Chains A and B, each alone.
Chain A
Amino acid sequence: EPEVTQTPSHQVTQMGQEVILRCVPISNHLYFYWYRQILGQKVEFLVSFYNNEISEKSEIFDDQFSVERPDGSNFTLKIRSTKLEDSAMYFCASSPRTSRYEQFFGPGTRLTVL
Chain B
Amino acid sequence: AQSVTQPDIHITVSEGASLELRCNYSYGATPYLFWYVQSPGQGLQLLLKYFSGDTLVQGIKGFEAEFKRSQSSFNLRKPSVHWSDAAEYFCAVGAAGNNRKLIWGLGTSLAVNP
State the A residues within 8 Å of B (CB). Answer: 4, 31, 33, 35, 41-45, 48, 50, 55-56, 91, 93, 95, 100-108
Contacts and interface: CB of A to CB of B under 8 A. Distances in A.
Interface of B: 32, 34, 36, 41-46, 49, 51, 90, 92, 94, 97-107
Nearest to B104: A43
Interface core residue of B32, B34, B46, B104 (most chain A CB under 10 Å): B104
Contact of B43 (A31, A50, A56, A106): A106
B84 to A, nearest CB: 18
B44 A45 contact: no
13 contacts: A4-B43, A31-B100, A42-B104, A43-B107, A50-B99, A56-B101, A91-B43, A100-B32, A100-B94, A101-B49, A101-B94, A105-B36, A108-B44
A105 B43 contact: yes
Contact of B46 (A43, A45, A104, A108): A104
Contacts of A107: 41-43
Nearest to A48: B99
Given A105-B44, A105-B45, A48 B104 contact: no
A42 B105 contact: yes
Given A91-B43, A108-B43, A103 B102 contact: yes
Nearest to B92: A43
A93 B97 CA distance: 18
Given A42-B105, A105-B45, 11 more contacts: A35-B104, A42-B106, A43-B90, A45-B102, A48-B100, A56-B97, A100-B94, A101-B32, A103-B100, A105-B43, A105-B46
Nearest to A101: B94
A105 B90 CA distance: 13
Nearest to B34: A101
Contacts of B41: 107
Nearest to B100: A101
B104 A44 contact: yes
A95 B100 contact: yes
